[in-house]
Structure 1
Amino acid sequence: MALALWARVADESAYRLIADRWDAVWYQRIAENGYGFVLHAPGVVHPDYMFSPLYPYLMRFVAAWTPLDLPAAGLVLSWLACLVAAWGVFAVGAHVGGRRVGTMLVLLWAALPIAHVQTMAYTESLFTAMAAWCLYATLTQRWLVAGLLASLAGLTRPSAPALVAAVGVAALLELVRERRFLWRPLVGAALAALGYLGWVAWVGIRTGEPLGYFHVLEQWNKSMDLGQAAVQWMLALPPWLGVAVAVSYLLVIALLVWSIARYPLPSLAVFSSSTVALALLGTGYFNSRPRLLVPAFPLLLPFADRLARARPWVPALVLGLLTLASAAYGGYSLVVGQAPP
């Protein structure tokens, strides 16, 4: 509703804003023509191998078997995945802290300032759905399910290694704790890496380079530099804005430390830490960094726990303000902002 109002004021199409711009166009092109397109511009070479295959091919499947065109198919997929993701986020929260914590966790996640990307024809919803249920599977020791979901996540987003690591570490600690051979954690951990490694191998074959996928990421200016690019970017901003961005970095790190201290669960800690590292310590387009943190919902667990134990008016006020801020920011970034989220 907020986006529709923003779009109406700006005389824009709300549908186009969320279904037919930026990354969504790349996914549509892949769904329609397969891989092999390279965008050439002054100083820019962008191969489409940077975009993982599961989401665009699901778009193709939905468009082929329904009356929907590709943009609409992408939206339907994202919206359905968002519901599954919300259920998974609740399941994790309820498992570690009770149903009220689970409810607060999913409401906080839904009210994130960058949460509007969950309604776009992007992969955040699909990846978060797989991540949430994969983490739930590790918490409940369903290792084969966890491995399968992590493997599918490896075909969904480049940030999947964070989930693969979470399953692997949790499985290893399970073996150490039990002090005996258990085949399910081992198979689950191996299966978790299969999707991502398979995609890397396929891109290597297509590009003629064993590590061609990582060369593709470099062409998109996506690599790990331990935060050097972020620091340089912040120093180039106006002082007040640079300070605000630095504070936001510190808040994310504080949330990470708080969440691990409050809920020291291996799979959640590894996934959150890895996702934060990928978002904050890499190169690439700076405005996209906040949406890389959307799947890292375990960061919100301590906050959800506090809200769950507060008087009813406190979560109502906090969530109400966060929802208004999220609607305002989301509408502004899509309608007024000229760069992709």
Structure 2
Amino acid sequence: MTALATGSRPSWPARAHLRWLRTPATVRVLVVYALARLFTAAVLAEVARFQPASTWTTEDPGYGGMLGMWDADWYGRIAEEGYPRSVPLGPAGDVQQSQLAFYPLAPLLARLLMTTGLPFTAAGAVVSLVAGAAAACGVHALLLRVLARRAGPAVARRGAWAAAVLFCVSPPSLVFQVPYTEGPALALLVAFLLCLHAGRYGPAALVAVLLGLTRPVAVPLSVVVVVHLGLRALAGYRAGARLGGREAVRCLGLLAASGAAGLLWPLLAWQLTGQRDAYTATMGAWRAGGRVVPLEPWWGISQYVLGPLGPLLLAVALGLYAWGVLSRRARVLGPELRAWCLAYVGYLLLVLDPFTSLFRYLIFLFPLGALVATRPGRRSPLTAWVVCSLALQVVWIAWLWRFSPPADWPP
């Protein structure tokens, strides 16, 4: 017999749990996000005690001193100095590392906040923190909408909650409170996918253009648009419905905007410097060979890490990943989110020099977090995933964000 049937009141933990469940989902996501950021702040402050003096910091710089490290320094230069008017060259004529490799939207937002008197590290951290919170709420809203169509409301609530929580506590989630671009890029990516699912192609096109000024992730987004519009055209053909002229213009406009977004910053860098390959040449300055060669780094790194069988093991791992994304269990994510998860990894294969930064890039595969809690009739292992993520976050910050002079692996 239940407590209500006997007239007794539920225990305090039971009442607190009921109040928590009755709290709006957005508020619950923000609470988890805030707690996760406090945990990250505590870890970063502790790691700061073991940070030696470096290019960016003094010895034991404290929490605030740890915010401006690594790529945050480049974004600070953009906010304070802008971009060079020509591609910087070394004494031998080789292209040097410069701000041209970094996208402008996030540092320009920080620059607006700096007009209030905030230093860049604080302004950039605020931009990341706010954008990360918006992204976390958007992840929940997006997965709730997508899963509800394919798996029902109960599974949708569990899956959306799991995706949002794992997003908040992911190992590299420090990027949501340092001056990096992941927070703004993820907020825009989620906004784009929400607009796409709602059929709001005009706002989606605008968001795609903004995303093209934030991070180089707009190219795989074009694949998602092609999949979405192709499926819509197929459904209309089967139903015998014709696409009206105005609707066709909206679809073509979205396709054009998403395609142009992937080329927007390279074109702007060309206009800024007068050099056609200003962006790609500058990106090559970070590569061992001095240029970006598709696929080659993955082949070399796999051999370096795993030996002669490295490329074969890499191919097997990629095949298993594709099989998992295309499997029946992942169908609840819908074609657009699965297309994103495949296209984004394909894009990383083409352009990324894979190593320690890969952990940070994988945060964009947030839809996969929903699969933790979408198996009907099974208890969700979300708690175990959260504990593992928090433990790995400690490792990520202590191993990758902490800098050991004179050189170290980048986060």
- Fold equivalence (TM over 0.5): yes
Residues 255-306 of structure 1: CA deviation (Å, up to 9, x unaligned)? 4432333236332233222211232443536222222221121233323424
Partner of 2:37: none
Partner of 1:180: 243
Partner of 1:6: 47
Distance in 2 of aligned mates of 1:186 and 1:140: 17
Bigger Cα displacement from structure 2, 149-158 vs 274-283: 274-283
Partner of 2:129: 79
Bigger Cα displacement from structure 2, 69-78 vs 273-282: 273-282
Bigger Cα displacement from structure 2, 110-119 vs 147-156: 110-119
> For residue 288 of structure 1, what is the amino acid of its counterpart?
S
Q: Give the percent of matched residue pairs that are identical in Structure 1 and Structure 2.
A: 27
Q: How does 1:45-124 map to 2 (within 5 A)?
A: 45-64=96-115, 66-97=116-147, 98-124=156-182
Partner of 2:304: 236
**1:310 to 2:358 alignment:** no
Describe the SS at the equivalent of 2:351: coil
Distance in 1 of aligned mates of 2:70 and 2:143: 33
Cα shift at 1:129 = 0.9
Q: CA RMSD in A?
A: 3.0
Cα shift at 1:47 = 3.2
**1:282 to 2:351 alignment:** yes
Residues 108-147 of structure 1: CA deviation (Å, up to 9, x unaligned)? 2233322322332110111111111211221222212222
Q: How does 1:135-150 map to 2 (within 5 A)?
A: 135-150=193-208
Distance in 2 of aligned mates of 1:8 and 1:156: 32
Q: Residue 24 of structure 1 contacts residue 121 of structure 1 at CA under 8 Å; is this kept in 2?
A: yes
Query: For the structure 1 residues 120 and 128, does the alpha-carbon distance in structure 2 shift closer, same or farther, using more than 3 Å as the test?
Result: same
Partner of 2:68: 20
Cα shift at 1:80 = 0.5
> For residue 72 of structure 2, what is the amino acid of its counterpart?
A
- State the number of aligned residues: 334
Q: How does 1:205-244 map to 2 (within 5 A)?
A: 205-221=271-287, 223-226=292-295, 228-237=296-305
Cα shift at 1:185 = 2.3
Bigger Cα displacement from structure 2, 148-157 vs 203-212: 203-212
> For residue 166 of structure 1, what is the amino acid of its counterpart?
V
Cα shift at 1:157 = 0.8
Following TM superposition, where does structure 1 have runs of at least 4 consecutive aligned residues deviating by more than 4 angstroms?
Answer: 39-44, 245-253
Extract unaligned runs of 5+ from structure 1: none
TM-score when normalising by structure 1: 0.85
**1:321 to 2:362 alignment:** no
Partner of 1:332: 399
Extract unaligned runs of 5+ from structure 2: 1-41, 52-59, 148-155, 237-241
Residues 23-49 of structure 1: CA deviation (Å, up to 9, x unaligned)? 111111111111107375997622321
Partner of 2:151: none
Query: For the structure 1 residues 252 and 73, does the alpha-carbon distance in structure 2 shift closer, same or farther, using more than 3 Å as the test?
Result: farther
Cα shift at 1:213 = 2.9
Q: Residue 78 of structure 1 contacts residue 121 of structure 1 at CA under 8 Å; is this kept in 2?
A: yes
Residues 312-341 of structure 1: CA deviation (Å, up to 9, x unaligned)? 6x3223322322222333333222663321
